[in-house]
């Protein structure tokens, strides 16, 4: 494979701490698989045989015991652990593995679930000898009620403003609304080269990038003040900043490639290819199909609805024991080693591995994680129940989030 794959799986899930307090984001169950299983599966289907996984020791330990990770993932996983309490962003993580990088790289976040044709991004990268090619998708409006937030006004998401050329492929400008105190400002040099620029909103950075090896080398060589040493292009998103850099020692090679190329990226004039730009960024915008960053509670709920359908999961794991008198909807999923008793009703819900559901329980529009016990006569609606929780007899939960290992007293009503 001409690209090395890198999976970023060390993030703490700061936007959904209720879920990640006891379980790292990379190992949160989505459709009864660890979240990081989905980007790994995407890479495996693309033909990768080895992936560098940047993560923490806690995640590494959980990976070694998770049956889905052990049995389903056939690729070799080169696990690199970083400090769990370290504030290490994408650039720092790439510096950390620089010695392992021998070619250009494909970087993927552990919280991405998509069925994108990955070659669309890779082909852009190849065709234009780009510094970076990235994936973006249309922003999703999540319709499900989020536990604990019923009736509350939604916090408006900060928009990204994305500037592309007339082809819609070359990325010229990107800024977040939070950084635009005095309005949208675009450099004159960009406008001179690209007088007709399309400014798009309603797009989400999927955190999937193809990057030149020179970017990683530069990051490793220049940790303190890179702006003095090279030309640089910076893409900023609300939660991270990924500098796309190339050192001056590579400029002769870039110039030679341009001089010998007969290809041009625009028509109607005699201007040089790429308008003379040595640092070129491209974007593939996924107009249709699922593409989710599972980094909020709303996105986590949506992903649990989507993921099993995306991969055509069997509704009931063969090892689960389900009473014949259980009413189960066609859009529900029961995990391994579950026990579902008589007179139960499960609709539009995911039941995690090794969960026990006793008699006369109703579960609707809910996510039940692993190892949960639901006692007799409970009613659970629109809720997320984290692993190893115990729901007492006759409890009535509506739009609740029950934390890892929590116990709900019998006969209580909890709702919003």
The pLDDT, as a whole number, for residue 381 is 95
Q: In whole angstroms, what is the distance from residue 31 CA to residue 332 CA?
A: 10
- Distance, in Å, from the CA atom of 195 to the CA atom of 25, rounded to the nearest integer, reads 43
- Contact by Cβ (8 Å): 359, 377: yes
pLDDT of res. 262: 41
- Supply angle C-alpha 317, 320, 325, rounded to 5: 115
Chain center to CA of 309: 18
What's the token pair of residue 393?
């007899």
For the chain, the domains span: 4-149+158-181+188-261+277-310, 315-415
- Which pLDDT score is estimated for 202? 86
Contact 382, 401 (CB under 8 A): no
Whether this prediction's pTM lies above 0.95 is answered by: no
CATH class of 315-415: mainly beta
Quote the tokens at residue 243: 């500098």
Beta-sheet strands, E only, within 270-378: 281-286, 291-293, 321-322, 327-328, 333-334, 339-340, 345-347, 350-351, 356-357, 362-364, 367-368, 373-374
State residue 172's pLDDT score: 84
pLDDT number for residue 106: 95
Strand partners, 408: 391
Contact between 176 and 160 under an 8 Å Cβ cutoff? The reply is yes
The set of residues, in sequence order, having a beta carbon less than 8 Å from that of 140 and lying 6+ positions away, is 204, 292, 299, 302
Q: Regarding beta strands 321-322 and 339-340, do their DSSP bridges make them parallel or antiparallel, or are they unpaired? A: parallel
Domain 4-149+158-181+188-261+277-310 falls in which CATH fold? Spore Coat Polysaccharide Biosynthesis Protein SpsA; Chain A (3.90.550)
Per-residue pLDDT of the chain in tens (416 residues, 90 and over written 9): 589 999 999 887 777 878 888 889 999 999 999 999 999 999 999 999 999 999 999 999 999 998 888 888 899 999 999 887 656 778 888 888 989 999 999 999 999 999 898 999 999 999 988 989 999 998 887 777 788 765 555 555 667 788 888 888 888 888 777 767 777 777 777 777 777 888 888 888 899 999 999 888 888 887 654 433 233 343 333 333 344 444 444 555 445 544 444 444 554 444 555 555 567 889 999 988 888 899 889 999 999 988 888 877 889 999 999 998 899 988 899 999 999 999 999 999 999 999 999 999 999 999 999 999 999 999 999 999 999 999 999 999 999 999 999 999 999 888 76
Residue 113 pLDDT: 93
pLDDT score at 1: 54
> Nearest Cα to 412, choosing from 380, 372, 373?
380
């Amino acid at each position: 494979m001409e690209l090395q794959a890198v999976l970023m799986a060390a993030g703490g899930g700061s936007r959904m701490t209720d879920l990640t307090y006891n379980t790292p984001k990379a190992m949160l169950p989505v459709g009864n698989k660890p979240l990081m299983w989905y980007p790994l599966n995407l890479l495996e289907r693309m033909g990768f045989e080895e992936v560098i996984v940047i993560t923490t020791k806690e995640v590494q330990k959980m990976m070694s015991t998770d049956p889905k990770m052990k049995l389903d993932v056939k690729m070799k996983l080169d696990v690199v652990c970083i400090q769990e309490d370290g504030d290490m962003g994408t650039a720092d993580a790439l510096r950390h593995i620089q010695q392992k990088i021998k070619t250009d790289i494909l970087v993927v976040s552990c919280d991405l679930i998509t069925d994108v044709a990955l070659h669309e991004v890779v082909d852009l990268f190849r065709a234009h000898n780009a510094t970076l090619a990235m994936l973006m998708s249309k922003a999703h409006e999540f319709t499900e009620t989020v536990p604990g937030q019923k009736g509350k006004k939604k916090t408006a998401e900060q928009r990204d403003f994305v500037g592309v050329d007339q082809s819609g492929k070359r990325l010229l400008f990107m800024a977040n609304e939070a950084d635009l105190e005095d309005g949208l400002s675009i450099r004159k040099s960009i406008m001179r080269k690209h007088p007709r620029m399309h400014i798009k909103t309603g797009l989400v950075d999927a955190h999937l990038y193809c990057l030149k090896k020179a970017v990683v080398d530069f990051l490793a060589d220049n940790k303190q003040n890179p702006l003095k040493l090279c030309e640089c292009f910076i893409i900023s998103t609300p939660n991270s900043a990924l500098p796309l850099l190339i050192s001056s020692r590579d400029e002769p090679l870039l110039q030679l490639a341009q001089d010998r190329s007969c290809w041009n990226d625009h028509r109607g004039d005699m201007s040089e290819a790429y308008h003379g730009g040595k640092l070129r960024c491209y974007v593939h915008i996924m107009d249709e199909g699922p593409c989710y960053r599972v980094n909020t509670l709303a996105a986590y709920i949506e992903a649990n609805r989507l993921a099993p359908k995306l991969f055509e999961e069997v509704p009931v794991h063969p090892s689960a024991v389900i009473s014949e008198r259980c009413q189960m909807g066609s859009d529900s999923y029961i995990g391994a080693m579950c026990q579902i008793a008589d007179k139960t009703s499960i609709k539009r819900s995911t039941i995690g591995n090794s969960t026990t559901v006793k008699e006369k329980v109703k579960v609707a529009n809910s996510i039940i994680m692993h190892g949960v016990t639901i006692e007799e006569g409970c009613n659970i609606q629109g809720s997320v129940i984290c692993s190893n929780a115990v729901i007492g007899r006759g409890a009535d939960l509506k739009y609740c989030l029950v934390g890892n290992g929590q116990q709900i007293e019998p006969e209580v009503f909890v709702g919003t």
